[in-house]
């Protein structure tokens, strides 16, 4: 499949500039389109677990409409150029991992062009995702922190001296074990 220039421009407009990192995410989305037959996610049908917080994640947001706000973009920071895609509708899932690296003869522009022009199978390896399909996003009650007075989701609160405390105010008791 050749590069879709319109989709690339959409990703660039969202991200703000062209770069090799955005090209990696763009091509990961292309791999998901080709291998899974997915497209934009209206709600939480398409899920992406990204293992990095680099430029390519913006392509996932722009092209698949996976966002942290909708609960269908989940960050699992391994530092790898890897993306696990899930389709709740048909159960398909795929982990896409960048298998090539930039060599010393390529500057950033040549590296970006190589990534955009190469077939997805040349630059990515595929496997089953390492993670189970995440549950749908939940709604949580807000609880007021007894220290700072700010509200936070109840699943993020801690108990300290019998009172609800937010993560920022919580004083961890750790004796080095």
CATH of the domain at 63: 3.30.1330.130
The pLDDT of residue 41: 75
DSSP class of 156: G
The pLDDT of residue 43: 84
From CA 77, how far away is CA 171, in angstroms rounded? 25
pTM as predicted: 0.84
State pLDDT tens for residues 79-91: 999 999 999 999 9
The pLDDT of residue 1: 60
Whether residues 67 and 20 share a domain: the answer is yes
Whether residues 71 and 91 share a domain: the answer is yes
Partners of residue 86 on adjacent β-strands: 47, 93
Q: Which residue has the tokens 């949580």?
A: 140
Whether residues 78 and 146 share a domain: the answer is no
**Residue 81 placed within a domain:** yes
Q: What domain range is 94 assigned to?
A: 5-127
**Residue 132 placed within a domain:** no
Whether residues 121 and 149 share a domain: the answer is no
Task: Measure the CA angle with vertex 58, ends 26 and 86; round to 5°.
Answer: 70
State pLDDT tens for residues 15-49: 999 999 999 999 999 999 999 999 887 888 999 99
Whether residues 119 and 144 share a domain: the answer is no
CATH of the domain at 149: 3.30.60.20
Whether residues 74 and 103 share a domain: the answer is yes
Say if residue 60 is exposed, middle or buried (CB neighbours under 10 Å; 0-12, 13-18, 19+): buried
**Residue 80 placed within a domain:** yes
How many domains in the chain?
Answer: 2
**Residue 133 placed within a domain:** no
Whether residues 34 and 106 share a domain: the answer is yes
């Amino acid at each position: 499949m050749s590069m879709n220039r319109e989709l690339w421009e959409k990703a660039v407009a969202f991200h703000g500039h062209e770069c090799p990192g955005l090209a990696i995410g763009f091509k990961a989305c292309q791999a998901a389109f080709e291998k899974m037959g997915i497209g934009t996610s209206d709600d939480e049908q398409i899920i992406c677990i990204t293992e990095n917080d680099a430029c390519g994640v913006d392509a996932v947001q722009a092209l698949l409409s996976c966002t942290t706000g909708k609960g269908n973009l989940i960050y699992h920071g391994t530092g790898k150029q890897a993306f696990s895609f899930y389709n709740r509708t048909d159960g398909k899932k795929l982990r896409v991992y960048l298998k090539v690296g930039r060599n010393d003869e390529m500057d950033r522009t040549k590296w970006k062009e190589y990534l955009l022009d190469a077939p997805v199978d040349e630059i990515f390896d595929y496997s089953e995702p390492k993670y189970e399909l995440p549950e749908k996003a939940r709604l949580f009650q807000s609880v007021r922190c007894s220290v700072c007075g700010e509200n936070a989701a109840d699943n993020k609160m801690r108990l300290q001296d019998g009172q609800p405390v937010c993560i920022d105010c919580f004083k961890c008791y750790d004796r080095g074990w």
